[in-house]
Amino acid sequence: MLGFKTQVLLHHWGMGVEGFASAHGVMISISLNFKWLVMFLVLIIAH
């Protein structure tokens, strides 16, 4: 029973980590794209 409980806990933890990583990956990519967009707009305005 202990082994089964451990497997379930590990599975849920793995799912949580995966969800957390994918959510943060999306946030990081959006923030990076936003940074590049701002730099691009600043360059356009400067010229």
Q: Where are the domains of the chain?
A: 1-47
Separation between Cα atoms, residue 35 and residue 17, nearest integer Å: 26
Whole-number Å distance between alpha carbons of 29 and 22: 10
Q: Using alpha carbons only, how large is the chain's radius of gyration in Å?
A: 20
Look at residue 38 in the predicted model and tell me its pLDDT.
92
pLDDT band at 13 (very low <50, low <70, confident <90, very high): confident
Regarding pTM above 0.85, the answer is no
pLDDT at 24 (0 to 100): 82
The 10s digit of each residue's pLDDT in 15-43 is 888 888 888 888 888 888 898 989 999 99
